[in-house]
Structure 1
Amino acid sequence: MRSHERDPCTDAGKASEPDGRSGRLSLRLRINLMIAGLMLVFIAVVLATQILATRKSVLEETRASNSVAVRLLSAFISPDDVQSNEVLRATLQRLGRVRSTEIVLRDALGQVVYSSPPSTYKAGRSAPRWYARLVSPAPIEEGFILRDGALSLQSNASRAVLDGWDDTKRLLLLGLASLLLVQPLVLWLVGRATQPLREIVVGLESMERGAYHTRLPKLPSKESDTIGQAFNRMAQAIEDNIDARREAAEATVNLRRSRELANLVELRMEDERRQIARELHDETSQSVTAIHSLALSLSRRELLDEEARRVAGTIAAAAGHLHGVVHEMIPRLRPLALDNLGLADAVQNQIDDWRMQHEGLRIEGCVEDLPEELDERVTLAAFRLFQEACSNALRHAQASHIDVRMATDGDSLVVQVRDDGIGLPDDWRSSRGYGLRGMRERVQTLGGELAIERRHPRGTRVSARLPLKVSV
């Protein structure tokens, strides 16, 4: 197993930066922002709950304080009270300040005789106005009509609001401190959780650069390890596929070279056959003909004794037989008509020879639409296919009717030979005979196609498609 290691500090820095290629944030940063956002939402919910609780608390305290003050003063004041403002003011001064309540005493002219002293609790401080507006209840006012003035009570929740503000501020600071302390821990945990993903990304980048031997190690979590195993299987499949393609390419090159070599060998062999056929026709055949003529002439002379004439007759007969064998060999080696007259005439000459050699054989040939200048290799391959297919039908299939067709079809030369013989044997595909294998190799060397199949109810059909233009 091969793995790729990277600097975690570098990875952490890159993970927190936006992905420059796609313009999107990294997964690690998005998870961190999501967790931070959830924490901020939680803090906001807690603060909202605190503000609602403070509002309710301030309202209850204000009502309670105002109620206590009203009952307390009611104990001192009654409608029939004849106390003077001075006596009542002295009583209020001894009472002092009542929490969350402002007490004001006025005379008959409306002048303030007494007001509650300022609160000493958290003196000099007050809550922000926006906060006070959120939690402060509507003012509560109560009053007493006196004989020579009036006494009024009005709620004042500033100290309770300030207490609520202090509690809210402490809660806010605690939440922010928790966020600042927890966020680095969350960042570290998310980094550890996404580390396998970074290793997978590194592996993919290596694959992109062509390092198909890359393999991922066993990853910590179940999900990431499943992805890692799938990655390794994919990498192995790609590597196997590349190896197979490389081997196929090498095999293709070797096959092309083998075909080129086979083509050169075939051309060389045909050249040698052509020369041998020429020598047999021009030299050997004429010499045998001369020997046959001389021996025949000697066998007819009366001056020779009987034994000499018999020997001369034997020589003449042997020379005649040799002449026939030579003339049968010449078409098999290289039909001279193929060089002198062309493919169509060479095929027709061969058909005429077979008709004379095989009495009762019905062989038909049709060669048409051939180009004027046909590649020599294509010409030779077409003739050899025709020759081999017909020879097989005559020697092995016991055919009485053979049909030969040659014609161009687009950029191909189509050769077809059909017979009514006994057909192919059951094991013909596994046969190691040179004839069928030689035909197939000859066609493949030129880049053509060969089909050999049974005919119904009997017979065989050999079809070949050869390209008119053959690359070197």
Structure 2
Amino acid sequence: MSLRSQINLLVAAMTAIFLVALLAMHIEATRNSVRVEVVAGNRVATQLFANLVPDDGVNGSGFLQFLSRLGHVRATTIRLHDRSGATVYVSPPDQRKPGAEPPRWYAVLVAPEAMHRSFQTPEGILEIDSDPASAIRDGWDDAVHMFQFGAVIFVLGNVLVFWLVRRATQPFARIARGLDEVQQGAWRTRLPGYWRAEAGTIARAFNRMTKTIEDNLNARQEAIEAKLRLERNRELADTVRARIEDERRAIARELHDETGQSVTAIKSLALALVRRAESDATTRDTAQLIADTSGKLYAAMHEMIPRLRPLTLDSLGLADALREAVGEWRRQHAAIEIALDVGELPEVGDTATVAVYRIVQEAVTNALRHAGAKRIDIVLTARDDALHVSVADDGIGLPPDWQQAGHYGLRGIVERAQVLGGAARIERREPRGTSIDVNIPLHR
């Protein structure tokens, strides 16, 4: 049931209760009025005839003439019976409102207790009985007028109340429709302004709510779209890295197998030419220059191959590739102590293997080039279904702006970890140095 119907029913019920209470009060007042009138009329008639009957001067015909002249007495019926019991006189009824008889239920409710008096006269027996019919008719007339007035007030009052309630609750129907629309996902729904305080307050709160929801949904949608773009960018970056690693692998293999053998052959031929051209100094010096240049080219090529793609990473695995890289770093930087602690590692995919190797390579390279460290500790363990990498040094620590553009090495470490679903934490050590901790899940 709607609020409007409930209010209308409540007002109608209260009005009906008021009218019923008014009727009850009227009945009670009419009952008291009829009782007073009946008692007064009976008392007057009783006192009159009580004083009249003992008068011996009143004979039978004179007494009857007196009764006839007396006529109707209010709220009283007078009867005279002769000595044989026959009724010789009955007071006439009230003729003021003939036919206006009240309903029986009303007469029963307002009628007082019957009163009876009788006197012995020389002519017979005089009886005086209470007769509230006239007073009851008067009360009923008043009740009818009151009912008519109450009905008019009831109808007009309820029509007015129904109209006012309809006018006052009309905004709530629009508010209810707005709530239904919001429930169905129409977050752009707005309510108009209402001049009534309650409806206006609800409308303003509703509009603030829908705007907040819409803003939150838009922000969430933008966040989802940004996340999707980030995922696509990461996938693209991952694909690019994979292609780069494939190219590096191919180039490293080509340098090792083809170019390396060619350079070795050139050096061998040059040395053979040196031995054969002992008598020709110019040819011997040229051949020696070719042999020396080939040796330098071969050494530079072998230094380049681990940076491109360590061949041991494919043949021996991550642990041995790191050991080989650490050995090379120790050889190149003998003054710096580099410690490697590699625990027992499970089988990991090629992508994770390359990523971990590059993370360690980048972290150590940064420490060697920029930190001025005397010691670098590398720890690689597998626990809690994740691969944990830690590279710590005792150098000068992180620069204040390391998270800004330009520090591609450190940012690359973070991005490589995130692409694999992991996380990287880079922070300063106390009292000095830098620590890089990376966690990469083994199963994605």
Note whether the superposition's TM-score is higher than 0.5.
yes
C-alpha deviation, 1:340, in angstroms? 1.1
Alignment RMSD (CA, Å): 2.4
Q: What is the rounded CA distance, in whole Å, between the counterparts of 1:318 and 1:300 in structure 2? A: 17
Q: Deviations over 1:118-139 (max 9, x none)?
A: 3323334532232222212222
Query: Which residue does the alignment assign to 1:250?
Result: 225
1:199 paired to 2:169: no
Q: What is the rounded CA distance, in whole Å, between the counterparts of 1:277 and 1:124 in structure 2? A: 129
1:40 paired to 2:8: no
Q: What is the rounded CA distance, in whole Å, between the counterparts of 2:198 and 2:160 in structure 1? A: 23
Q: What is the rounded CA distance, in whole Å, between the counterparts of 1:36 and 1:216 in structure 2? A: 32
Query: Which residue does the alignment assign to 2:216?
Result: 241
Query: Which residue does the alignment assign to 1:56?
Result: 32
Query: Which residue does the alignment assign to 2:373?
Result: 399
C-alpha deviation, 1:317, in angstroms? 4.0
1:129 paired to 2:130: no
1:150 paired to 2:109: no
- Structure 2 vs 1, CA of residues 73 and 37 (structure 1 numbering), >3 Å: closer, same or farther? same
Q: What is the rounded CA distance, in whole Å, between the counterparts of 1:456 and 1:314 in structure 2? A: 53
Query: Which residue does the alignment assign to 1:333?
Result: 308
Q: Secondary structure at the match of 1:396?
A: helix
Q: Deviations over 1:215-272 (max 9, x none)?
A: 1111131211111111111111122122222222222221121111111111111111
Q: How many residues align?
A: 444
Query: Which residue does the alignment assign to 2:439?
Result: 465
C-alpha deviation, 1:368, in angstroms? 2.7
1:259 maps to which of 234, 237, 253: 234
8 Å CA contact 2:278, 2:284 repeated in 1: no
How does 1:378-397 map onto structure 2 within 5 Å?
A: 378-397=352-371
Q: What is the rounded CA distance, in whole Å, between the counterparts of 1:327 and 1:188 in structure 2? A: 97
C-alpha deviation, 1:35, in angstroms? 1.0
Q: What is the rounded CA distance, in whole Å, between the counterparts of 2:117 and 2:320 in structure 1? A: 138
Q: What is the rounded CA distance, in whole Å, between the counterparts of 2:33 and 2:123 in structure 1? A: 37
Query: Which residue does the alignment assign to 1:434?
Result: 408
* AA in 2 matched with 1:150: I
Q: What is the rounded CA distance, in whole Å, between the counterparts of 1:126 and 1:268 in structure 2? A: 113
Alignment identity in percent? 49
* AA in 1 matched with 2:81: R
1:447 maps to which of 399, 402, 421: 421
1:424 maps to which of 389, 393, 398: 398
Q: What is the rounded CA distance, in whole Å, between the counterparts of 2:167 and 2:344 in structure 1? A: 78
Q: Secondary structure at the match of 1:153?
A: strand
8 Å CA contact 1:452, 1:460 repeated in 2: yes
Query: Which residue does the alignment assign to 1:10?
Result: none
How does 1:48-447 map onto structure 2 within 5 Å?
A: 48-74=24-50, 76-77=52-53, 79-147=54-122, 149-295=124-270, 303-304=278-279, 313-372=288-347, 374-447=348-421
8 Å CA contact 1:101, 1:154 repeated in 2: yes
Q: What is the rounded CA distance, in whole Å, between the counterparts of 1:412 and 1:430 in structure 2? A: 29
8 Å CA contact 2:249, 2:309 repeated in 1: yes
Q: Secondary structure at the match of 1:439?
A: helix
C-alpha deviation, 1:305, in angstroms? 6.1
8 Å CA contact 1:103, 1:115 repeated in 2: yes
Q: What is the rounded CA distance, in whole Å, between the counterparts of 1:223 and 1:91 in structure 2? A: 78
* AA in 1 matched with 2:121: L
8 Å CA contact 1:400, 1:420 repeated in 2: yes
Q: Deviations over 1:11-67 (max 9, x none)?
A: xxxxxxxxxxxxxx1111111111111111221122122212211221222223223
8 Å CA contact 1:405, 1:415 repeated in 2: yes
C-alpha deviation, 1:210, in angstroms? 2.2
8 Å CA contact 2:277, 2:283 repeated in 1: no
* AA in 1 matched with 2:411: R
Q: What is the rounded CA distance, in whole Å, between the counterparts of 1:317 and 1:431 in structure 2? A: 43
How does 1:10-49 map onto structure 2 within 5 Å?
A: 25-49=1-25
8 Å CA contact 1:401, 1:420 repeated in 2: yes
Q: Secondary structure at the match of 1:365?
A: strand
C-alpha deviation, 1:312, in angstroms? 5.0
C-alpha deviation, 1:436, in angstroms? 0.8
8 Å CA contact 2:403, 2:411 repeated in 1: no
* AA in 2 matched with 1:53: A
- Structure 2 vs 1, CA of residues 304 and 461 (structure 1 numbering), >3 Å: closer, same or farther? farther
8 Å CA contact 1:85, 1:149 repeated in 2: no
Q: Which runs of 5+ in 2 are unaligned?
A: none
Q: What is the rounded CA distance, in whole Å, between the counterparts of 2:179 and 2:137 in structure 1? A: 60
Q: What is the rounded CA distance, in whole Å, between the counterparts of 1:114 and 1:415 in structure 2? A: 133
Q: Deviations over 1:125-174 (max 9, x none)?
A: 53223222221222233343334533232211111111111221221233
* AA in 2 matched with 1:362: E
8 Å CA contact 2:248, 2:308 repeated in 1: yes
* AA in 2 matched with 1:129: R
Q: What is the rounded CA distance, in whole Å, between the counterparts of 2:286 and 2:428 in structure 1? A: 52
Q: What is the rounded CA distance, in whole Å, between the counterparts of 2:18 and 2:188 in structure 1? A: 48
8 Å CA contact 1:105, 1:112 repeated in 2: yes
C-alpha deviation, 1:383, in angstroms? 0.5
* AA in 1 matched with 2:435: R
Q: What is the rounded CA distance, in whole Å, between the counterparts of 2:257 and 2:68 in structure 1? A: 159
